[in-house]
Amino acid sequence: MERNLKHKIEIIPSVASNISLFNLLYSKSWRKLKRDLFKEEGNKCWICGKEGVKLEAHEFWDFDYKTSTHKLIGIHHLCIHCHGVKHITYWLGVFKRKEREMSFGFITNLRKQFLKINNCSEEDLEEHIRESRIKKEKIDNLDIKVDFGEYDKFISRLRKKAIVEMMREMREK
């Protein structure tokens, strides 16, 4: 389905699954970044535009297959459903291990959000999930690098060394 979707599932390489600006910054720095984001974008979801709801900061990453680089390209506030869609393959995996009844409403809402934002069918969503899993398998077999882009300035040299070490350990598993 090579459609131009407004809302896509995020693909995170396994070796980078715990590497995020959120996990690397001290809480004071993260809170400042979020306050600045509210000033820039207002109090609404960056994808669906919903206002007056709890918003979560989401890191948008892109993968460059030529350089095997996982790059942070932006941070935006998302409502819980748009944020959940970004990680729907994670949630589907989590809820396969838990009781289905518990997850049904949550997953259903994520699916509805994807269909609504992208104006597409259930089949389109299923195809996008399949494609996302295939891309993830491909990426997981590469020796990747992480690039924090314009946000690199927020990370100390010591933390950068820790990232390299953590990724090396993950590859060896």
Torsional class of 69: left (φ above 0), alpha (ψ -120 to 50), beta (otherwise): beta
pTM of the model: 0.82
Helix (H) or strand (E) run with residue 63 in it = strand 55-64
Domain residue extents for the chain: 14-163
pLDDT tens digit at each of 173 positions of the chain: 456 888 888 888 888 887 888 888 878 888 899 999 999 999 999 999 999 899 999 999 999 999 999 999 999 999 999 998 898 766 666 555 555 444 567 778 888 999 999 999 999 999 998 998 899 899 988 988 899 999 888 887 777 777 778 777 777 76
Residues 153 and 159: their CA atoms lie apart, in Å, by 12
Q: Are 21 and 30 in contact (CB under 8 A)?
A: yes
| Angle between helix 122-140 and helix 88-96 axes, rounded to 10 deg | 90
Amino acid identity for residue 84 in this structure: G
- CB atoms near residue 154 (< 10 Å): 16
